[in-house]
Amino acid sequence: MIPFDHLGPVFKRFASLVYPQRFRNDLASLSRRMERGGHVLDAGGGTGILSAFLYAQRKDLTFVLLDPAHGMLRHAPAFAVRTVGVAESMPFPGHFFEAVMIGDAFHHCDDPDRAAEEMRRVLKPGGVLVVFEIDPEKALGRFIARAERALGEPAHFFAPGVLSARLAEAGFACTVSRYAWRYAVWCTAPRRAG
């Protein structure tokens, strides 16, 4: 297993460098669609990189970081509410968040389908889910997937179309954006709660 509990300083310093500028711009566009004072969940948020990107655009939003590694959360920004936990069993009420983001962490979920169901549960009707991942169809993605499996990680890496289809099965309407060896699935929760 990757010792995430001890890697907070490394992620704090270097993790933002792996997110392409075009993805950051797309994320900033998302922030303009959110209501003032809304709540955003950064699932598998670690040191809060995705939250920091959005916070630069929208300081009025409330950011909640969820991560199983307390050592990562210790290095999260002060503006974020920190919660130790996993995506498959979130300690939040239903229909609470306007947006849920999960960056480079969905593949670490032990049960990806259960995590998708939980993300839908905590999203408000019409809320947005953003899943940023590594593409195992690309050479670098295949290398990372093999390395994580060798380290004992769940390594649930899905091709963009496969992940989009799985999230659609959980009730989301999805589109895919590609960023070289990375991609994002942008999902909208159904307008009706359920």
Residue 72 lies in a domain: yes
- pLDDT tens digit string along 38-86? 999 999 998 999 999 999 999 999 999 999 988 879 989 999 999 999 9
For residue 10, pLDDT beyond 70: no
In which domain, by residue range, is 80 found? 4-188
Q: Is residue 174 part of a domain?
A: yes
Query: Where does the pLDDT of residue 6 fall: very low under 50, low under 70, confident under 90, or very high at 90 and above?
Result: low
CA-angle at 8, arms to 142 and 147, nearest 5°: 20
Q: Is the pTM value of this prediction over 0.85?
A: yes
Three-state DSSP state, 55: helix
Which of 183, 148, 181, 142 is CA-nearest to residue 163? Answer: 183
Q: How far apart are CA 16 and CA 26, in angstroms?
A: 15
Q: Which residue in this structure is represented by tokens 């499996």?
A: 149
**194 falls within a domain:** no
> CA–CA distance from 66 to each of 40, 88, 114 (Å)?
11, 11, 16
- Within a domain: residue 151? yes
Domain assignment of residue 193, yes or no: no
Question: Quick one: pLDDT band at residue 21, thresholds 50, 70, 90?
Answer: very high
Q: At what angle do helices 160-169 and 112-122 cross, to 10 degrees?
A: 60
Residue 123 lies in a domain: yes
Kindly list the distances between the CA atom of residue 161 and the CA atoms of 38, 120, 164, in Å, as whole numbers in the listed order.
Answer: 30, 19, 5
How many domains are contained in the chain? 1
Per-residue pLDDT at 33: 84
The answer to whether position 63 is within a domain reads yes
Q: Is residue 158 part of a domain?
A: yes
Tens of pLDDT, residue by residue over 134-170, are 999 999 999 999 999 998 899 999 999 999 999 999 9
What the block records as the tokens of 71 is 């050592």
> Does pLDDT of 31 surpass 90?
no
Q: What is the CATH number of the domain that holds 58?
A: 3.40.50.150
Q: Taking Cα atoms as reference points, which of 172, 161, 160, 76 lies closest to residue 125?
A: 172
Site of tokens 């997110």: 19
